[in-house]
């Protein structure tokens, strides 16, 4: 089973995504509350997929994405943000994100993205 790392400073967002994933058979799920924790957890568990918010304290998602990609150039990272701004999307994709999900998102959007990336 694929390992998935959920990164968001809002605990309810992590819980919502985790709930959607576990209901659909994904059980190996890890969590981090900011970019610093995300990079540490990535090093620790080497997840198959990271679903990460952009706007977070300490280290934002774009910085964490870049740090994770220096550890693993093939890392699969999907960025999430309430700000559906074109510049953010472009920056995330240029930095190596596999996809970008705008909040608020529906559970089926998360699942479609996860199954597309993990196969």
| Pick from 4, 18, 14, 7: nearest CA to 57 | 7
The CA distance from 53 to 84, in Å, is 12
Q: Which domain holds residue 10?
A: 3-118
Query: pLDDT digit of tens for each residue in the chain (119 aa)?
Result: 899 999 999 999 999 999 999 999 999 999 999 999 999 999 999 999 999 999 899 999 999 999 999 999 999 999 998 766 678 888 999 999 999 988 888 899 999 999 999 98
Task: Judge if the upstream peptide bond of residue 104 is cis by omega within 30 degrees of 0.
Answer: yes
The CA distance from 119 to 106, in Å, is 20
How many domains are contained in the chain? 1
The CA distance from 34 to 61, in Å, is 8
- Note the pTM of the prediction, 2 decimals: 0.94
CATH of the domain at 34: 3.40.50.2300
């Amino acid at each position: 089973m694929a390992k998935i790392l959920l990164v968001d400073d809002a605990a309810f967002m992590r819980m919502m995504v985790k709930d959607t994933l576990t209901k659909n058979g994904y059980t190996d799920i890890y969590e981090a509350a900011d970019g610093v924790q995300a990079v540490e957890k990535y090093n620790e568990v080497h997840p198959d997929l990271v679903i990460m918010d952009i706007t977070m304290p300490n280290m934002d998602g774009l910085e964490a994405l870049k740090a994770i990609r220096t550890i693993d150039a093939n890392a699969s990272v999907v960025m999430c943000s309430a700000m559906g701004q074109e510049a953010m999307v472009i920056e995330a994709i240029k930095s190596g994100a596999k996809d970008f999900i705008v909040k608020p998102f529906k559970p089926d959007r998360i699942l479609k993205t996860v199954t597309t990336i993990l196969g």
